[in-house]
Amino acid sequence: MSTLNSLNLTSIPAEDEALRAEVRAFLSEAVREMPAHVRARSWGGYDAQFSRELGRRGWLGITLPKEYGGASRSPFARYVLVEEFLNFGAPVGSHWIADRQSGPLILKYGTEAQKQYYLPQICRGEAFFCIGMSEPNAGSDLASVKSRAVPNEKGFVLNGQKIWTTNAQHCHFMIALVRTSGETADRQKGLSQVIVDLSLPGITVRPITDLSGDSHFCEVFFDNVQLPPDAMIGQEGGGWEQVTAELAFERSGPERLFSSIVLFDEWLAFVRTEAGHTPEAVRLAGKVFTQLAPLRAMSVAVQEKLTRGESPIVEAALVKDLGTSVEQMIPAVIADDLFSRDSESVPLELLLTLNYVTEVAPSFSLRGGTRDILRGMIARGLGLR
């Protein structure tokens, strides 16, 4: 059986699906006053208070064991939550990385002390994490990172620089991929992951303004930062393997399908009005829908494999590349629909949302692995020798 017919239709288990009504009732109230162009930021939106409220309701770190503050629920429970958050455009950026990957990473590779320290804070929405991977000269070529943590009598001394680190200016901790032994030429060997408390002396965080005017990603400088001995997470030299294991989780979730969904729903609301209804718009709605539905089925099927402990890395890359293509198609075709009409009377909120999503759409296929890197991975995974 090849990768391409390895996924079969599957459904979210009923006990996990049962979470939906509760979270939806909360979200309908919580985001009611937020305009669509703000909701469109969704996992790019930052609201620490909102994250703590989710924590109070037991919706952060829901897959983590109860003894660390989680709910010991299946990954499908988290899938349902995330699907609702994204479709409502809830501002989930603060806790996003901690909930999606830092928590599970610490659970998998952390010492007992690390688990007891970090995981309950993550579940309460009190510890926000960012991912320190890219550097000025290590983007798609991640193995060429130069930041280095050198052991000393008090732990490690960290020097170097990270860039494009989302929400670093608001986060408490960074899990950074750094060199702990060997040289840059050793590539994947000698890399490790360290947890960096961003309040330590010697750390400078500088936000970078993006083309839409938001400042969500940052430069982070490390100047002789003294890390404690327990900053290392997992094995010394095991950083590359740990980072790649995270990727299947990172690439196939609902956030790779629904980045433009707030815009799509806002446009649909207009198309359902007498002024907005045209045969061309109805057809276009169907074009987007018939792309999203199979993608959602694929994403659920990949999730099912992850839940069973498999590592469907190629399948996840396929979902991400296709999903981000649809996410990018949505603003392009909606703009064409709205501005191919005789009348230019389009609701302002819809236009603001369209404008925002159009501006940020290029990032959909950059974050989490660029399109070209993914396609290379897919090709090799499919058996191109």
- Interface residues toward other proteins, by CB under 8 A: 2-5, 7-12, 14, 83, 87, 258, 261, 264-265, 268, 271-272, 277, 279, 281-287, 289-298, 300-301, 315, 318, 321-322, 372, 374-376, 378-380, 382-385
Q: Judge whether 311 and 248 are in contact, CB under 8 Å.
A: yes
Q: How far is the CB of 40 from other proteins (least distance, A)?
A: 14
Q: How far is the CB of 294 from other proteins (least distance, A)?
A: 4
Residue with tokens 């001394």: 157
Q: How far is the CB of 298 from other proteins (least distance, A)?
A: 5
The residue (of 181 and 325) whose beta carbon lies closer to other proteins is 325
Calculate the alpha carbon distances from 381 to 31, 56, 321, 375, 377 in Å. Answer: 41, 42, 14, 10, 6
The residue (of 3 and 181) whose beta carbon lies closer to other proteins is 3
Active site annotation includes 183: no
Q: How far is the CB of 4 from other proteins (least distance, A)?
A: 5
Q: What contacts 24+ positions apart, CB below 8 Å, involve 9-12?
A: 9/297, 9/301, 10/300, 10/301, 10/304, 11/300, 12/76, 12/79, 12/80, 12/300
The residue (of 240 and 264) whose beta carbon lies closer to other proteins is 264
Q: How far is the CB of 156 from other proteins (least distance, A)?
A: 38
Catalytic residue, chosen from 83, 84, 135, 250, is 250
Find the helix packing angle between 313-338 and 371-381, rounded to 10°.
Answer: 140
The residue (of 150 and 275) whose beta carbon lies closer to other proteins is 275
The residue (of 43 and 46) whose beta carbon lies closer to other proteins is 43
d(CA 283, CA 334): 12
The residue (of 114 and 260) whose beta carbon lies closer to other proteins is 260
Q: How far is the CB of 288 from other proteins (least distance, A)?
A: 8
Q: How far is the CB of 332 from other proteins (least distance, A)?
A: 16
The residue (of 61 and 276) whose beta carbon lies closer to other proteins is 276
Residues annotated as catalytic are 250
